[in-house]
Amino acid sequence: MSYRHPAGRRGAAACLLFLGMLSAAPSTRNAARAQTTADRRQDVREEVVVLRDIPYVAGGHDRQKLDLYLPRDAQTKTEPLPVVLWVHGGGWRKGNRFPCPAVFLVPHGYAVASVGYRLSDTAKFPAQIHDCKAAVRFLRTSASKWNLDPNRIGAWGSSAGGHLVALLGTAGNAPELEGTLGTTGVPSSVQAVCDYYGPTDLLRMNSQSGPHSRLDHDAPNSPESQLLGGPLQTQVELAQMASPIRYVDPQDPPFLIVHGDADPLVPHQQSQMLHQALQTAGVPSTLIIVPGGGHGPFREPEMLQRVREFFDQHLHRSEQDSSN
């Protein structure tokens, strides 16, 4: 069922949706879905051009690269393509650019950039958000090369990647997180954010842990402590600096937030708090809580359709492209 909350100050309706558990269907339905997924993947392979290992910081670290996925007819389109950044998870200490779940958007008229960033064993925060912001600036200034629209850039990430895209959304005007990597002097702001179960207030994660939790977030070896370079509760100022909720203001872009209420790694209250803060600021925000859902991945066709509809709405897709 669905609970609709009053519109924020900007008159945007925000809703909180509780989805039924995305449980196993009967075997015949599973088989049909598997075939549909296989067909979809084949269609994507045939329609997508991939440009790999593009450095967004000249002479930078090997992880400061992105893979760009484009429609085969990108250069002949009369209208520049909106861009969606994919930022991978992995606790800020593992993971990479491939595979890229967002590639399913490409046949629908999007460019997708899968962004790498320095991990916590190489560089401590704020290096990771500096990298993501540098990637946005690079795409914005290189837009004409690939027929991209520099004014229609969205971001989607999961777990640690959800945290980083949430920071891209809320900290667009935070100079302390901008960095000086790569191209400077252009905005690193994004126009829409899809945050899949990312941390939003690091100092409160342990207090929100429930019976499903498998992590002591305050421990010296926790992902959060390793990100900051020391035990979380001894890095209070840096932890606050790394928390997307700190920067929420009315200028933030629309958010779609997805979280399972049985997540063993990131308490779902983290997403609830961010959603409520965005609503209070008058920012359009939709929160989807998946009952019984764990730490993702939430890539069922129904959920991916919601993601696509979100980007279609907020990156101002034309009616013709949206129907593709």
Q: pLDDT tens for the chain, 324 residues: list them.
A: 222 223 333 333 334 444 443 333 444 545 555 555 444 454 566 789 999 999 999 999 999 999 999 999 998 888 999 999 999 999 999 999 999 999 999 999 999 999 999 999 999 999 999 999 999 999 999 999 999 999 999 999 999 999 999 999 999 989 999 999 999 999 999 999 999 999 999 999 999 988 888 899 999 999 999 999 999 999 999 999 999 999 999 999 999 999 999 999 999 999 999 999 999 999 999 999 999 999 999 999 999 999 999 999 999 655 444 444
Which CATH number do you get for residue 12? 3.40.50.1820
Which pLDDT value is given to residue 212?
83
Number of domains in the chain: 1
In this prediction the pTM is 0.86
* Domain of 75, in residue numbers: 2-322
Q: 91-96: list long-range contacts, CB under 8 Å, 24+ apart.
A: 91/120, 91/159, 91/160, 91/223, 91/226, 92/119, 92/120, 92/125, 92/128, 92/160, 92/163, 92/223, 92/226, 92/227, 93/119, 93/120, 93/121, 93/223, 93/226, 93/227, 94/119, 95/119, 95/160, 95/161
